[in-house]
Structure 1
Amino acid sequence: MQTKHFFSDPTHLVQTALHSLTLTNPSLAYDPDNKIIFRRPDAASKSKVAIVSGGGSGHEPAFAGLVGKGFLDASAAGTIFASPSAEQIRKAVMDCIDHEKGVLIIPMNYTGDVLNFGMATEKARAAGIKTEFFAINDDVGVGKRKGGKVGRRGIGGGILILKIVSALAEAGGSLEDVYRTAQLANKNIVSLGSSLEHVHIPGRPAQTDTIPHGEVEVGMGIHNEPGSHRVKFTLVDLVSTMLLQLLDHNDPDRAWITRKPEDDFVLLINNLGGVSSLELSGITDEVYRQLERDYNVKPVRVIQGTFLTSLNGLGFSISLLKLVDSGLGSGKSFLELLDAPAEAVGWSAPIRTETWNKHRSEAPVELKRTKLPEDNPSNVKLDAGILKKVLSTALKRVIAAEPEVTHYDTIVGDGDCGVGLKRGAEAVLKLLEDPASKITDDAVNAVNRIVNVVENTMDGTSGAIYAIFLNALAHGLRGQDKGTTTPATAEVWASALSYSLSALSKYTPAQPGDRTMLDALVPFCTQLQRAKDVHVAAKAAQEGTEATKGMKASLGRSVYVGGEEQWVGKIPDPGAYGLSVLLNGLAEAL
Structure 2
Amino acid sequence: MSNKHFVNDPVHLLNLALRSAPLTNPSLALDEENKIVYCKSSPESHASRVAIISGGGAGHEPSFVSFVGDGVLRAAVSGSIFASPSVKQIYSCITRRVNPNSGVLLIIMNYTGDVLHFGLASEKAKAAGVDVDMVVVADDVGVGREKNGKVGRRGIAGTVLVHKIVGALAATTAGASLKEASALGRLVAANLVSVGSSLTHVHVPGRAMTSDDDEGALKPDEIEIGMGIHNEQGYKRIKIPELPELVKILLGQLLSKEDKDRNYLEDVENIEGWVLMLNNLGGVSPLEMGAITAEVAKQLDSTYSIKPKRIFSGAFMTSLNGNGFSISLLRLVDTGLGKAKSMLDLLDAPHESLGWSAPIKQETWANAGGQNQASESDAKEESVPPSGLKLNVNQFCHALSNALKALIKAEPEISRYDELVGDGDCGSALKKGAEAILQLISANKISPDAVITISTLAEAVEANMDGTSGALYSIFLNSLAKALREAGEGEVTLGVWAKAAMAALVSLRKYTPAQPGDRTLVDALQPCLISLAEDGNVGKAAKAAREGAESTRRMKASLGRSVYVGDVGDIPDPGAVGIAVLMEGLAEVV
Counterpart residue number, 1:156: 157
Q: CA deviation at 1:472?
A: 2.4
Read off the aligned partner of 1:191 and give its amino acid letter.
S
Q: Is the 8 A contact 1:374 1:448 kept in 2?
A: no
Does 1:578 find its partner at 2:587? no
Does 1:224 find its partner at 2:228? no
Matches within 5 A, 1:175-190: 175-190=178-193
Q: 1:99 to 1:510 in 2, by over 3 A?
A: farther
Counterpart residue number, 1:508: 512
Q: Is the 8 A contact 1:99 1:129 kept in 2?
A: no
- In 2, the alpha carbon distance for the partners of 1:388 and 1:204 equals 61
Identity of aligned residues (%): 53
Q: Is the 8 A contact 2:60 2:320 kept in 1?
A: yes
- In 2, the alpha carbon distance for the partners of 1:529 and 1:233 equals 53
- In 2, the alpha carbon distance for the partners of 1:241 and 1:398 equals 39
1:456-487 deviation digits (Å, cap 9, x = unpaired)? 44333223221221122223333x166xx355
1:62-117 deviation digits (Å, cap 9, x = unpaired)? 00010112111111101011111122122222222343222212221222212222
- In 1, the alpha carbon distance for the partners of 2:391 and 2:259 equals 70
Read off the aligned partner of 1:8 and give its amino acid letter.
N
Q: Is the 8 A contact 1:412 1:561 kept in 2?
A: yes
Q: CA deviation at 1:329?
A: 0.7
SS of aligned partner of 1:41: coil
Counterpart residue number, 2:362: 353
Q: Is the 8 A contact 1:373 1:445 kept in 2?
A: no
Counterpart residue number, 2:264: 256
Counterpart residue number, 1:445: 452
Q: Is the 8 A contact 2:270 2:333 kept in 1?
A: no
Q: 1:52 to 1:388 in 2, by over 3 A?
A: same
SS of aligned partner of 1:318: strand
Q: TM-score, normalised by structure 2?
A: 0.89
SS of aligned partner of 1:7: coil
Q: 1:261 to 1:93 in 2, by over 3 A?
A: closer
Read off the aligned partner of 1:559 and give its amino acid letter.
V
1:396-447 deviation digits (Å, cap 9, x = unpaired)? 4445555664565566556654454344334434433x2x423222111110
**1:332 equivalent among 333, 341, 352:** 341
Q: 1:277 to 1:43 in 2, by over 3 A?
A: farther
- In 2, the alpha carbon distance for the partners of 1:393 and 1:254 equals 55
- In 2, the alpha carbon distance for the partners of 1:244 and 1:320 equals 12
**1:244 equivalent among 247, 252, 256:** 252
Moved more, 392-401 or 576-585: 392-401
Q: Is the 8 A contact 2:556 2:566 kept in 1?
A: no
Counterpart residue number, 2:33: 33
1:10-59 deviation digits (Å, cap 9, x = unpaired)? 00111111111222212211111111111121599424221111111011
- In 1, the alpha carbon distance for the partners of 2:457 and 2:302 equals 38
Q: Is the 8 A contact 1:49 1:101 kept in 2?
A: yes
Read off the aligned partner of 1:305 and give its amino acid letter.
G
Read off the aligned partner of 2:168 and give its amino acid letter.
A
Q: Is the 8 A contact 2:43 2:100 kept in 1?
A: no
1:260-317 deviation digits (Å, cap 9, x = unpaired)? 6963221222122222222223222333333333333222222211111221222222
- In 1, the alpha carbon distance for the partners of 2:268 and 2:119 equals 36
Moved more, 139-148 or 99-108: 139-148
Moved more, 231-240 or 469-478: 231-240
Q: Is the 8 A contact 1:249 1:258 kept in 2?
A: no
Q: Is the 8 A contact 1:44 1:69 kept in 2?
A: no
- In 2, the alpha carbon distance for the partners of 1:449 and 1:293 equals 36
Q: Is the 8 A contact 2:53 2:106 kept in 1?
A: yes
Counterpart residue number, 1:96: 97
- In 2, the alpha carbon distance for the partners of 1:559 and 1:513 equals 13
Does 1:174 find its partner at 2:177? yes
Matches within 5 A, 1:93-492: 93-171=94-172, 172-207=175-210, 208=214, 209-234=216-241, 235-259=243-267, 263=271, 264-361=273-370, 365-366=374-375, 369=378, 371-399=380-408, 401-402=410-411, 405=414, 409=418, 412-413=421-422, 417-432=426-441, 434=442, 436-478=443-485, 480=486, 485=489, 487-489=491-493, 492=496
Aligned length: 581
- In 2, the alpha carbon distance for the partners of 1:62 and 1:322 equals 22
SS of aligned partner of 2:551: helix
Q: CA deviation at 1:364?
A: 5.8
Unaligned runs of 5+ in 2: none
Q: Is the 8 A contact 1:374 1:444 kept in 2?
A: no
Q: 1:401 to 1:162 in 2, by over 3 A?
A: closer
Q: TM-score, normalised by structure 1?
A: 0.89
Q: Is the 8 A contact 1:136 1:158 kept in 2?
A: yes
Q: CA deviation at 1:324?
A: 1.1
- In 1, the alpha carbon distance for the partners of 2:572 and 2:225 equals 50
- In 1, the alpha carbon distance for the partners of 2:566 and 2:118 equals 56
Q: 1:176 to 1:463 in 2, by over 3 A?
A: same
Q: 1:411 to 1:233 in 2, by over 3 A?
A: closer
Q: 1:467 to 1:133 in 2, by over 3 A?
A: same
Q: 1:507 to 1:342 in 2, by over 3 A?
A: farther
CA RMSD between the two structures: 3.0
Q: Is the 8 A contact 2:191 2:332 kept in 1?
A: yes
Read off the aligned partner of 1:236 and give its amino acid letter.
P
- In 1, the alpha carbon distance for the partners of 2:170 and 2:33 equals 28
1:306-343 deviation digits (Å, cap 9, x = unpaired)? 11122122222222211111010121001111111222
Read off the aligned partner of 1:3 and give its amino acid letter.
N
- In 1, the alpha carbon distance for the partners of 2:18 and 2:458 equals 53
Q: 1:184 to 1:555 in 2, by over 3 A?
A: same
Q: 1:201 to 1:439 in 2, by over 3 A?
A: same
Q: CA deviation at 1:543?
A: 4.4
Q: CA deviation at 1:146?
A: 4.0
Counterpart residue number, 2:70: 69
SS of aligned partner of 2:360: coil
SS of aligned partner of 2:358: coil
Q: Is the 8 A contact 1:50 1:73 kept in 2?
A: yes
- In 1, the alpha carbon distance for the partners of 2:86 and 2:260 equals 36
Moved more, 143-152 or 94-103: 143-152
